[in-house]
Amino acid sequence: MHDRNGLIEDCRLAQNVLCDTTAIDTELSELFREIEVVTELSRKAIYENARIAVDQTEWAERNNAYIERHHKATERIDELETAKRERLGKSKIIDGFIKDIKNRPLAIAEFDEKLWLAVIDQVTVDHDGIMTFRFKSGLRNYCLTLPYQGCQSIKGVGNLKSLINPVTMRLAFG
């Protein structure tokens, strides 16, 4: 981590872009106003139907339209609230990552399981000993330093920790 402040700044920028809920909040406000309007229109229609002789077919169509508008708005609110919760959850994850970066030493001297699990998605060891590291970002990196024969795919830390020492890790990532 040569440029810790730059990395933190990049994380904050990504957080602002990926976790922004401004558009969601605006749409939620509009939908809540729509529900208030539709509720009031429906209430007035019911009151009118109770006081004045109204064609029941016409009244039912109008009231059903109000109910449908309310239903659509409610469904959209549920979708937006779910999306907002997901974005806020991502924001908390990024905050934790930034906090971890701030507290981490500049150089990694030994195997760090927490960092491994945060960065590596999968490691595949081919029959010729080539290791393919698939990062959670989708990036792939290759390493020829593992003296291992046989093809297998290892997820997580479990078996891989016993196969790799910190020197090999530096070669793989450096």
Q: How confident is the model at residue 138 (pLDDT cuts 50, 70, 90)?
A: low
Task: Give the pLDDT of residue 150.
Answer: 43
Tell me the pLDDT tens digit for each residue of 88-128. Answer: 998 998 898 888 888 877 766 777 787 777 778 888 877 77
Task: Give the pLDDT of residue 44.
Answer: 92
Task: Give the pLDDT of residue 115.
Answer: 75
In what side-by-side order are the strands of the sheet with 120-125?
A: 140-143, 131-135, 120-125, 152-154
Count CA atoms within 13 Å of residue 165 on its CB side: 3
Mean local confidence (pLDDT), 71-96: 94
- Indicate whether 27 pLDDT > 90: yes
Task: Give the pLDDT of residue 155.
Answer: 43
Task: Give the pLDDT of residue 121.
Answer: 80
Pick the closest to residue 143 from 119, 162, 161, 167 (CA basis): 167
Q: CA-CA distance, 70 to 114, in Å (whole number)?
A: 47
- Cα separation of the two ends of the chain: 12
Q: Is 32 or 144 the better-scoring residue by pLDDT? A: 32
Task: Give the pLDDT of residue 162.
Answer: 44
Q: 126-129: list long-range contacts, CB under 8 Å, 24+ apart.
A: 126/151, 127/151
Domain ranges, ordered by start, for the chain: 4-103, 113-173
Mean local confidence (pLDDT), 50-71: 92
- Indicate whether 135 pLDDT > 70: yes
Task: Give the pLDDT of residue 141.
Answer: 56
Angle at 31 between CA 25 and CA 35, to 5 degrees: 145
Mean local confidence (pLDDT), 25-50: 94
